[in-house]
Amino acid sequence: MKTVRLVLIGLGNLGRRFCQVLEDKHDTLLERYDLDLVLVGAADSRGAAYDPVNGLGPGTIVKLKMDGGTVADYPEVGRRDWLAPSLVATARADVILEASPVNLEQGAEPGLSTIRTALRRGMHVATPNKGPLVVAYRELHDLAAEHHAKLRFDGTVAGGLPALYIGQRDLRGALVRRMEAVPNLCTGYVMDMLADGTSWEEARRHARDAGVLEGDGSWDLEGWDAAAKLVILANAVLCEPATMDDVALTGVTGLEPDRLQAARERGKRYRLLARAVIAPDGGYELSVAPVPLSPHHPLGGLGEKQMGVVYETDIYGTITAIIDEPSPVPSAATMLRDVLDMYVEA
């Protein structure tokens, strides 16, 4: 039996759900893989808890957070005078799970610093946080290699869909001629409502109320979220050192509801499509734009809870992968997928 000590930074939507998954799956993982996953530390914005001896109860953390509390109130070992940076800098752990919110305006902090510290200390990292990967893809990979640490980030693209794993492993040796992705749910959700005849104002409000859009929604609706995911896909799968500046970006905010309704009448459905198409010089042209998809397009039938990716290759045909993700659990569970990928033999 191998014990794997985890520290989780960030107890929002994903972090809390990851705790629930860990609580539910602990015994199965022990039985199936001989792995004892122990959460030894956790931090949210108000404090931290750390117990390297007995570990923390993930279920206890779920309860604290569901009640609107903080992990700083964890019995006996919770502390308000400790925050994530101190925990990551000192904890004895095998894997840091970085699940703080994406924050590109602030230079992807605090996630970026957390990941740097963890890798420098030789700890593996699993993160669904796009920010640090978009800002410092190469630097973080070099840092991981230098310290013999693993860096996994399957949850950064298309929720629980293993879009990155499929692209990185199953397409080895291939030339990807074209990659297309619908990498988030929220833009499709809003565009479907507009096509139904809902006004922009109402659609935004509905999406916010349903928890689909965060803040004023501009990160998603202006296409930044899709562009960030495309940048990560391009780096990871296409080995293209792309940044946000390389993406020709058109968001959905300028779309007239009339156009969406007209497309629907012609049997088409708009989706915000992230695309990489090979260029004559061998590089890739990257774009994000709302596109009316026919039902014959591999992603043309995506419903409002579905995301997908298409890889058109030279030797493996065209491979499409789609996820139906009715809740954020699959996105949170990508951290478990990443940890198991580190420790379970292929």
Q: What is the nearest approach in angstroms of a copy of itself to the Cβ of residue 170?
A: 4
Nearer residue to a copy of itself within complex by CB, 258 or 324: 324
Q: Quick one: which segment of 29-37, 241-249, 254-262, 282-290 binds a copy of itself (CB under 8 A)? A: 29-37
Query: CA 235 to CA 237: how far, in whole Å?
Result: 6
Is 172 a binder of a copy of itself (CB under 8 A)? yes
Nearer residue to a copy of itself within complex by CB, 68 or 173: 173
Query: CA 261 to CA 197: how far, in whole Å?
Result: 7
Is 298 a binder of a copy of itself (CB under 8 A)? yes
The dihedral built from the CA positions of residue 258, 261, 265 and 267, taken in this order, carries a sign that is positive
Cβ contacts of residue 91 below 8 Å, gap of 6+?
7, 40, 41, 50, 52
Query: CA 297 to CA 294: how far, in whole Å?
Result: 6
Phi-psi region of 122 (alpha: psi -120 to 50; beta: other; left: phi over 0): left
Q: Quick one: which segment of 50-58, 179-187, 210-218, 319-327 binds a copy of itself (CB under 8 A)? A: 319-327
Write the interaction track for a copy of itself spanning residues 216-255; mark x where CB under 8 A is met and - where it is not.
-----------------------x----------------
Is 115 a binder of a copy of itself (CB under 8 A)? no
Q: What is the nearest approach in angstroms of a copy of itself to the Cβ of residue 48?
A: 26
Is 344 a binder of a copy of itself (CB under 8 A)? yes
Is 282 a binder of a copy of itself (CB under 8 A)? no
Query: CA 99 to CA 232: how far, in whole Å?
Result: 17
Nearer residue to a copy of itself within complex by CB, 65 or 152: 152
Asked if the peptide bond before residue 328 counts as cis, ω within 30 degrees of 0, the response is: no
Is 142 a binder of a copy of itself (CB under 8 A)? no
Q: How many residues bind a copy of itself (CB under 8 A)?
A: 45
20 in Cβ contact with 62 (< 8 Å)? yes
Is 289 a binder of a copy of itself (CB under 8 A)? no
Token pair in block for residue 128: 């669904």
285 in Cβ contact with 277 (< 8 Å)? yes
Query: CA 86 to CA 112: how far, in whole Å?
Result: 15
- The residue from 14, 33, 178, 185 that contacts a copy of itself (CB under 8 A) is 33
Summarize as ranges the residues that interact with a copy of itself (CB under 8 A): 21, 25, 28-29, 32-33, 150, 159-162, 165-166, 168-170, 172-175, 239, 295, 298, 301, 315-326, 329-330, 333, 336-337, 340-341, 344, 346
